[in-house]
């Protein structure tokens, strides 16, 4: 009974199916969601009943584990279990599909790619794991619409026939271990993005990421590498803030004059350039859009500067590696807000950076005891419990020239509906500081 589930239910009903939504949480949490359902859709709350096993097809929402009893029984009964994007894409008239995944950088890159296509005056839909679900819009798409999708590992593992023309894997580092169970399973889910491609398609991969580089050997499509660190014989690389691309007939140089901080964003921009160049977009359009691109909300976003202290909203930093990336983006003393719902990945890899850059760690949420144990000795830690406590402490202790950084390395679901709600709360408190 969340965004993609409602979109899938409404699409199925619109196509003539008899639809049941099965939701584990209680009904009183979903009164507004029920109003968005088409009349005639049935629903149940509080349990997944055996009636689901009478289904011809089950559309599983992202994040619902495949090992729960009802899904296991469905598989045993040979009932197809797929995801919302897999379902919706069966009715997609466009074959011009661009799909982007990676542990970090997906939203920024997807947003930039969509902006480049839109500025080329092409009819463009941007969605998937951001914005609107594909099922919500698919019946209004035209055959020539460019469909730009951010894809999570959850969505990809339930998309057995999904076939984008251009795919990209930006990076792969440990995340969602509580869901996938192992790094091997996580990598396998990510690599599904190119599994159904052919030699006529393209896959953009990060040469500097050893996991991505190794995946090139399994990729059936044309692999275009991007690298921030190395000049490539074929692919796209960075030379003094100029993206140089040489890949077959595609040759161009595009200045990377961008407003958002961090080397990771240099990589995101190169990936976006590679995707849009092989899609045939004019390099002049790409240059113009890259120059004006200001990033996305909740990703290393300047919320406010007050008394010489910068308050940075990186609520999208929901894993350890994304927090590492955020820490590397600043050369000032950092007051780091960490915590939320633990995702099963160790925090210890952050220790060297924290020792070097962090003035203090402000702990919030459920994961506080685990973080405190694993990062002991890295920096002074303060139990702030929630966002108000963390920001009140920071506003009293942060000196001019320092940074207060919300980059929690955790999911938000212990205290917030999602990372957007967490980021908006951070910004509203920062705005009220005097």
| 103-123 confidence digits (pLDDT tens) | 988 999 999 999 999 999 999
The whole-number average pLDDT for the span 53-59 is 97
Q: What are phi and psi of 423, to 5 degrees?
A: -65, -40
Whose CA is closest to 255, among 222, 290, 224, 227?
290
Give yes or no for residue 378 having a pLDDT over 90: yes
Alpha-carbon gap, residue 216 to 305, rounded angstroms: 43
Under 8 Å between Cβ of 340 and 412? yes
| Per-residue pLDDT reduced to its tens digit, 395-426 | 999 999 999 999 999 999 999 999 999 999 99
CA distance 204 to 210: 14
Q: Measuring CA to CA, how many Å separate 52 from each of 30, 71, 178, 394, 422?
A: 20, 9, 25, 50, 34
Please write the tens of the pLDDT for every residue from 175-192. Answer: 776 777 788 999 999 999
In the chain the domains, ranked by start, together with CATH numbers, are 3-82 (3.40.50.720), 86-292 (3.40.1190.10), 301-432 (3.90.190.20)
pLDDT per position as a tens digit, 130-154: 989 999 999 999 999 999 999 999 9
The model's pTM is 0.81
- Give the pLDDT of residue 66: 86
Q: Burial-class residue 206 by CB neighbours within 10 Å (0-12, 13-18, 19+).
A: buried
The residues, ordered by sequence, that sit 6+ positions from 377 with a Cβ below 8 Å of its Cβ are: 351
Q: What angle do CA 185, 349, 335 make, to 5 degrees?
A: 125
Per-residue pLDDT at 13? 98
CA 54 to chain centre: 34
Mean pLDDT, to the nearest integer, of 330-349? Answer: 94
Cα separation, 155 vs 149, whole angstroms: 11
pLDDT tens-digit map of 214-235: 999 999 999 999 999 999 999 9
Confidence at 259, pLDDT banded by 50, 70, 90: low
């Amino acid at each position: 009974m969340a965004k993609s589930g409602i979109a899938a239910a409404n699409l199925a009903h619109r196509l003539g199916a008899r639809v049941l939504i099965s939701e584990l949480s209680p009904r009183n949490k979903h009164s507004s969601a029920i109003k968005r359902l088409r009349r005639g859709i049935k629903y149940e709350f509080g349990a997944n009943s055996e009636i689901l096993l009478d289904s011809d097809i089950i559309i599983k929402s992202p994040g619902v584990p495949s090992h729960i009893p009802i899904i296991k029984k469905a598989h045993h009964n040979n009932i197809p279990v797929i995801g919302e994007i897999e379902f919706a894409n069966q009715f997609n008239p466009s074959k011009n599909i661009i799909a982007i995944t990676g542990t970090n950088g997906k939203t920024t890159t997807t947003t930039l790619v969509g902006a480049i296509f839109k500025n080329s005056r092409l009819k463009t839909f941007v969605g998937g794991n951001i914005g609107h679900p594909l099922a919500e819009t698919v019946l209004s798409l035209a055959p020539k619409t460019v469909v730009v999708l951010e894809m999570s590992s959850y969505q990809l593992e339930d998309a057995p026939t999904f076939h984008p023309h251009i795919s990209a894997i930006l990076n792969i580092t440990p995340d969602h271990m509580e869901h996938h169970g192992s790094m091997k399973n996580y990598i396998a889910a990510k690599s599904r993005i190119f599994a159904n491609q052919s030699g006529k398609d393209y896959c953009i991969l990060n040469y500097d990421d050893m996991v991505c580089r190794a995946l090139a050997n399994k990729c059936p499509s044309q692999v275009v590498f991007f690298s921030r660190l190395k000049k490539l014989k074929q692919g796209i690389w960075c030379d003094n803030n100029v993206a140089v691309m040489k890949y077959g007939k595609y040759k161009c140089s595009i200045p990377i004059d961008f407003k958002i901080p961090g080397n990771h964003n240099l990589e995101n921009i190169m990936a976006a350039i590679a995707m849009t160049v092989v899609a045939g977009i004019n390099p002049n359009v790409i240059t113009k859009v890259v120059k004006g691109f200001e990033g996305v909300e909740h990703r290393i976003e300047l919320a406010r500067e007050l008394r010489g202290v910068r308050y940075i909203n990186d609520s999208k930093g929901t894993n350890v590696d994304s927090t590492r990336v955020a820490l590397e983006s600043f050369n000032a003393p950092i007051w780091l807000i960490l915590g939320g719902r633990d995702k099963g990945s160790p925090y210890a890899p952050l220790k060297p950076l924290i020792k070097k850059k962090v003035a203090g760690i402000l702990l919030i949420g459920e994961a506080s005891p685990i973080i405190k144990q694993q990062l002991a000795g890295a920096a002074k830690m303060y139990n702030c419990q929630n966002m108000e406590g963390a920001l009140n402490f920071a506003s009293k202790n942060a000196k001019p020239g320092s940074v207060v950084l919300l980059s929690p390395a955790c999911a938000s679901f212990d205290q917030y509906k999602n990372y957007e709600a967490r980021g908006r709360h951070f910004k509203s408190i920062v705005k009220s500081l005097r």
